[in-house]
Structure 1
Amino acid sequence: MNVFLSERTPDARPAAVLWDMDGTLIDSEPLWLDAELSMLGRYGIELTSEISDSLVGSGLRAAASRFQELGVPLGIDEIISEWTTKVIAGLAESAPLWRPGAVELLQSLRAAGIPSALVTMAVREIADAVVALLPGELFVAVLGGDEVEHEKPHADPYLRGANLIGVEITECVALEDSITGVHSAHAAGAIAIGIPNLLDLSNAPAHEIWPTLEGVDADRLTARYLALRGAVSAHEDSVTPSPSANTETGVQQ
């Protein structure tokens, strides 16, 4: 049995918190932008704001495919490899820009016995490089985009993230900064919290949108999880037909 599960009181708090990385945990988007601009500039291709916004939160294979469509004459793996090298180099050259409140929340969750897992579309090599910059062992599991069958917005990454630590996805909170990521978390069945960074999330299927993680600790997150999970359960109950009803005719048996 997972040690964290044995310490939980059923339904009292989330089984785990699943974190997106770029834009949610760390402000690494500038590093990705530099890598993208460097590649496109080499081939005389412009990166418009529309294209840039569409790449936020997307899987690397999908993003690399988009670069091929724009005219980059490289293979998918070649594109991803170049991005990986440049992003890791950028991480090594400067102090990490953690998103406001992110590290403090991770520490609070750890102290409360609520596990955190990283679920990112960056390759595992980049994810490990970012985790290594954190103070202490704050993640119990890490899942990279090269370790999933389907990238976000598919539910697969978050389902796999929950499975890594042996918890039910419906008992998890997912923290995301992108529309793509929120769709993935929501589709998986997690309580999806949006924390906008570069993009407006008002049209994303988040259960709630927070302006920042600053000031959020394990207790506050748990309180919102309970409220939101209760609301989701009530909604599900309201739309589920009674077992005693004939679903074709609506006539009580």
Structure 2
Amino acid sequence: MQTTTDLAAVLFDMDGTLVDSEKVWTIALYELADKLGGRLSDRARADMVGTNMSRSMVILHEDLGLPLDDTTGSVGWLEDRMGELFAEGLVWKPGARDLLTAVRDAGVPAALVTATRRRLVEKALTTIGRDFFTAVVCGDDIPETKPDPAPYRHAAQLLGADPAHCVAIEDSPTGLASARGAGCVVLGVPSEVDLSGIAGVTLVDSLTEVDVDYLRRLATTR
């Protein structure tokens, strides 16, 4: 039976939180914009961070002044290109692998909760390691995606955990909103987007500052 001091689970975002893949997404997105005859603005790229692929393609088409009823081809091209880039390997964010290892060794269940589609997540897990996660929730697993709370609620449900006793770790405003809406304790680790000024979130500069005891204290003092 859980008490108010339990850390029931840790829920990890992927892109920009565990692996430095936002830079990889940027490469593919600029390539796609060029293929479509335009140039992606910095503002549009920032707005894509933490969103699913379908939403990102709407942002891209709006930014380039292209029809919004023709994003399917862009989604397919981007998914194929990202599959190639993911297969080349991903770079860990500082402290991420050590924290995953510590959480696993402490016997605390973990889930991966990402807006990225499962086809690409399966490639990424070759680098990250499937054995770290009891559950994996991808952007195309359920109808609702971040910033809707559903992905984090679903992850907690898969782990049999109360979201109020779960710490969610995110790098984007979209992901933070999803985790907060689900009722999780939320830890923000800025990557490509400034997270300052977001209420109800604990911020650290890097996961090198975080260990299991730190996560337990967060869960205790929310």
Q: Is the 8 A contact 1:110 1:138 kept in 2?
A: yes
Give the distance between the partners of 1:193 and 1:227, measured in 2 at CA: 13
Give the distance between the partners of 1:103 and 1:182, measured in 2 at CA: 21
Give the distance between the partners of 1:52 and 1:100, measured in 2 at CA: 23
> Are residues 1:90 and 2:85 paired?
yes
Select which of 146, 149, 158 maps to 2:143: 149
Alignment of 1:1-253 (within 5 A): 10-69=3-62, 70-72=64-66, 75-93=70-88, 95-135=89-129, 137-228=131-222
Q: Structure 2: which amino acid aligns with 1:60?
A: M
- The percent of aligned pairs where both chains have the same amino acid is 34
1:190-224 C-alpha deviation (Å, 9 max, x unpaired): 01111001111013234211111114221221122
Give the distance between the partners of 1:63 and 1:135, measured in 2 at CA: 26
Name the SS of the counterpart of 2:78 in structure 1: helix
Q: Is the 8 A contact 1:36 1:83 kept in 2?
A: yes
Extract unaligned runs of 5+ from structure 2. Answer: none
Shift of residue 15, structure 1, vs aligned partner? 0.8
The residue aligned with 1:234 is: none
Give the distance between the partners of 1:148 and 1:75, measured in 2 at CA: 23
Q: Is the 8 A contact 2:188 2:204 kept in 1?
A: yes
182-191 or 40-49, which deviates more: 40-49
1:4-51 C-alpha deviation (Å, 9 max, x unpaired): xxxx75333311111111000100012111111111101221211111
Extract unaligned runs of 5+ from structure 1. Answer: 1-7, 229-253
TM-score (norm 1): 0.81
What is the number of equivalent residue pairs in this alignment? 220
TM-score (norm 2): 0.92
Q: Is the 8 A contact 2:44 2:60 kept in 1?
A: no
Give the distance between the partners of 2:141 and 2:128, measured in 1 at CA: 22
Q: Structure 1: which amino acid aligns with 2:84?
A: A
More contact order relative to length (CA 8 Å, sep ≥ 6): 2
Give the distance between the partners of 1:174 and 1:90, measured in 2 at CA: 27
Question: Runs of at least 4 residues of structure 1 off by over 4 A?
Answer: none
Q: Is the 8 A contact 1:20 1:119 kept in 2?
A: yes
Give the distance between the partners of 1:110 and 1:184, measured in 2 at CA: 24
Give the distance between the partners of 2:130 and 2:65, measured in 1 at CA: 43
Q: Structure 1: which amino acid aligns with 2:218?
A: R
Aligned-pair Cα RMSD in Å: 1.8
Q: Is the 8 A contact 2:16 2:191 kept in 1?
A: yes
Name the SS of the counterpart of 2:221 in structure 1: helix
Q: Is the 8 A contact 2:186 2:201 kept in 1?
A: yes
Q: Structure 1: which amino acid aligns with 2:23?
A: P
